[in-house]
Amino acid sequence: MHNKSVAELSRELESGKISSVELTREFLDRIKAEDGQYNSFITVTDDQAMAYAKAADEQRAAGKAGAWTGVPLAHKDIFCTSGVTTTAGSKMLANFVPPYDATVTANFRAAGAVCLGKTNMDEFAMGSSNESSFFGPVTNPWGLNSGDKRVPGGSSGGSAAAIAARLVPAATATDTGGSIRQPAALCGITGLKPTYGRVSRHGMIAFASSLDQGGTMARTAEDNALMLNVMAGFDPKDSTSADRAVPDYTATLKEPLKGLRIGLPKEYFSDQLSPAMEEQVRNAVKEYEKQGAIVKEVSLPHAKLAIAAYYVIAPAEASANLSRFDGVRYGYRCEDPQDLNDLYTRTRAEGFGGEVKRRILVGTYALSAGYFDAYYLKAQKVRRLIQQDFINAFKEVDVLMSPVSPSPAFVQGEKTSDPVTMYLEDIFTIAVNLAGVPAMSVPAGFVDGLPVGLQIIGNYFEEARLLNAAHQFQQVTDWHQKLPQ
């Protein structure tokens, strides 16, 4: 059963071939036996999961089941879960037990899904490799047979690794600068970052509020559509939530692609992309041409400025958001503080990891008197230019396609000593977050035995079009079905 998709498991439960209790126990046993080598989970909720599974079986017996009733999944440990520890991968919140659910977790609970636990992540979602977690790095299931441990990408690497290792069929995730698409690409699964505001951020621990977006991870585009059906929608508890109708994202999956206009941004097929990676991406685009899609080159002229703008805006917002973790209200507190200043200083020094401290310092500097106009304000102006690039491109084409990352999964520890090199891993994903448009990663081949992701970018609130394009690609390819050895 652990090799089946969400859609397949839902049908198995509907037919009565297996119960949710049996299914949940199989996944929990698999996590217990296998996750020691991946470290993809921070918390596993055995007792709660079994209770939910039992309730789901009772719902099905009463004829009150939906597509998600009794289906297991996991939540990234950045979504608050009532009564379950929510850490954001940080020592600062290692013992934090929220008294409420995030809107995303509440929606899945209401849909009857069974939460198996909380997945590992870069601390406060700051990282591109899942090596900054207080609970240890996550190991990518791919490439283990070579003797090297490789990163799963970040910050949603725990969710991606758990799905790739078949420890869970689906998991929630978040994307601030590529944190869904990059791990999905490096782990050979399918991940979707929706339009900013499409999924509620209520109860999602903030990193950079104008960039953070909850999204989906699973093996197939169809499973991502099933997840988005539950997650999307207006939420009055989130002031940035979009008040727009939510379509059935599974309804248009099978529409033909004939006439689909695909744009290839010339800035994303540059010297920064290895020939082997480019070959896999262009081969994937050829599959779309075989289905009747029309391909043309387009330009995103300000894409080269995205990294610089992002690493001013995101740290500035992180600096403001993380100021609440001061040892006074909740979270970690240093022992025996001498005075209030000592309490603040040692709590934050001891509670935050190196990458979080680095971004807080950069962000505080960018917001400081005398530098706000020179850095933060200018970065926001560049952001508007980047957004306009996408608006202009979508006047010519329906979707954009590009690589997700410049290289496959790299070896753990290879780039931790050079933050700038690490930041460049997000060079093809960050502009999407600055603009707020939706994008997804779809498995599209292998380089050196490691997965490669195809990035599909859409216009605002056109997630259905992206899912349709990804689903049709997966009908004629089997990259998404490949298993790590």
* Residue 241 and residue 200 in contact, taking contact as beta carbons nearer than 8 Å: yes
CA–CA–CA angle 133, 138, 142 (5° rounding):
155
User: Which residues are marked as active site?
Assistant: 76, 155, 179
Q: Residue 2: how many CB atoms within 10 A of its CB? A: 16
State how beta strands 41-44 and 114-119 pair. antiparallel
In the numeric block, the tokens 């970065």 are attached to: 379
Burial classification of residue 477, based on how many CB atoms lie within 10 Å of its CB (0-12 exposed, 13-18 middle, 19 or more buried): middle
* Residue 441 and residue 186 in contact, taking contact as beta carbons nearer than 8 Å: no
